[in-house]
Structure 1
Amino acid sequence: MKTQRMFPGIILLGFGLYFLLQQYHLILFEGFFNWPTVLCIIGAAFLGEAYGGKQAHAILPGVILFGTGLHFHLVGSLAFWPNHIGVLLLIVAIGFLLQASKTKSSLSQGVLLLIIAIITVYYDQLISLFGLSETTLANSASYWPFLVMGLGIYILFIKKK
């Protein structure tokens, strides 16, 4: 079967190329021979399995692994790239949304994570945009973890399909 060859084939090809470049000291960019590149290779294998092998369940781990590896490469390379936990939430949200486009499920989780990611990444800009003071939000910001945990409990135990 073609789908059984996609993941291991991409893994072997990716790591073979990685080790070949390392052996001949060919550096594509600063920090290439580091753990984020390994995450990108594994993520690319999952994405190849997802799209080439038509295994939609592999989209989410592929996006998370590839996106996380890419994020850590870009944080060290691009001055404008945000080094914020919200970017990792954004990567997971993108994974859910891409998976939802293929499976017609997980859309609500993707949208919810996207909203949380946008709020966390652009928190300071949103405060100034709405003209809110930091002290007003400081009191309400202490309740955010409880809101997020409550949504998780709702999704796990209360929401019925």
Structure 2
Amino acid sequence: MRKQNSMVAYLLIGIGFYYLLEQLSIPFLEPLTTWPSLLIIFGISLLIHSYLKRDYDKLFPSILALGFGIHYHALTLYPNWLDHWSVYAVILGIAFLLRYQKTKTGLYPGLFLLLIGLFMIISLTNNPFSDSVDVLIKVLEDYWPVGLIVFGVYLLFKKR
């Protein structure tokens, strides 16, 4: 019975701290009483539960909730924080890779998403590399249906 209630206990403790901070109205902790904090609390609760109970299936959603919560907090607290789709790809890639570390599933999607996200973040700077990436992205945007057709034909004729 105790194992079933541990995740709920972690969630209740975290939510209790959240509402206590909100009631105390401490001025320098005021930015922490927003909805991204609830995502962070949920993510940390799942993360603690998954590691302590060795229930590693909950690693993926815990990292997603924690990563998105940190990202949304950073968007409000830091004016120069990057708000681009590539940040979500990096968070998803990290979630896949941390799950892979314990369950041995999700290595390739994790590496793919992480590399694509980091590649796009690097390409957002103003340098010659980003100019060449812009040209490549424009070509991919124009001709991605051709890639789907080629991949579909490959799947039809590959040896089983």
Band of TM-score, shorter chain: 0.7 to 0.9
Given that 2:21 and 2:29 are in contact with CA atoms closer than 8 Å, whether structure 1 keeps it comes out as no
CA distance in 1 between counterparts of 2:85 and 2:15 reads 28
Given that 1:63 and 1:95 are in contact with CA atoms closer than 8 Å, whether structure 2 keeps it comes out as yes
Give TM-score, length-normalised by structure 1.
0.79
Given that 2:37 and 2:69 are in contact with CA atoms closer than 8 Å, whether structure 1 keeps it comes out as yes
Instruction: Tell me, yes or no, if structure 1 residue 31 matches structure 2 residue 8.
Output: no
Runs of 4+ residues over 4 Å off in structure 1: 143-148
Matching residue's letter, 2:141: S
Given that 2:94 and 2:114 are in contact with CA atoms closer than 8 Å, whether structure 1 keeps it comes out as yes
Among the aligned pairs, what percent are the same residue?
26
CA distance in 1 between counterparts of 2:5 and 2:14 reads 14
Distance 1:28 1:11, change over 3 A: farther
Which one has a bigger Cα radius of gyration?
2
Aligned pairs for 1:1-161 (under 5 A) are 3-125=3-125, 128-129=128-129, 132=132, 134=134, 136-137=135-136, 139-143=138-142
CA distance in 2 between counterparts of 1:144 and 1:29 reads 49
Which is worse superposed, 20-29 or 96-105?
Answer: 20-29
- Name stretches of at least 5 consecutive residues in structure 2 with no aligned partner: none
Matching residue's letter, 2:139: S
Given that 1:6 and 1:48 are in contact with CA atoms closer than 8 Å, whether structure 2 keeps it comes out as no
Distance 1:27 1:98, change over 3 A: farther
| Matched pairs, number | 152
CA distance in 2 between counterparts of 1:42 and 1:35 reads 11
Given that 1:39 and 1:69 are in contact with CA atoms closer than 8 Å, whether structure 2 keeps it comes out as yes
Cα distance, 1:143 vs structure 2: 4.5
CA distance in 1 between counterparts of 2:143 and 2:49 reads 37
The Cα RMSD (Å) is 3.1
Cα distance, 1:123 vs structure 2: 2.2
- Name stretches of at least 5 consecutive residues in structure 1 with no aligned partner: none
Given that 2:42 and 2:65 are in contact with CA atoms closer than 8 Å, whether structure 1 keeps it comes out as yes
Given that 2:123 and 2:133 are in contact with CA atoms closer than 8 Å, whether structure 1 keeps it comes out as no
Distance 1:82 1:133, change over 3 A: closer
CA distance in 1 between counterparts of 2:91 and 2:55 reads 20
Q: Deviations over 1:7-30 (max 9, x none)?
A: 111100001111111122135534
Give TM-score, length-normalised by structure 2.
0.79
CA distance in 2 between counterparts of 1:143 and 1:87 reads 24
Distance 1:63 1:9, change over 3 A: same
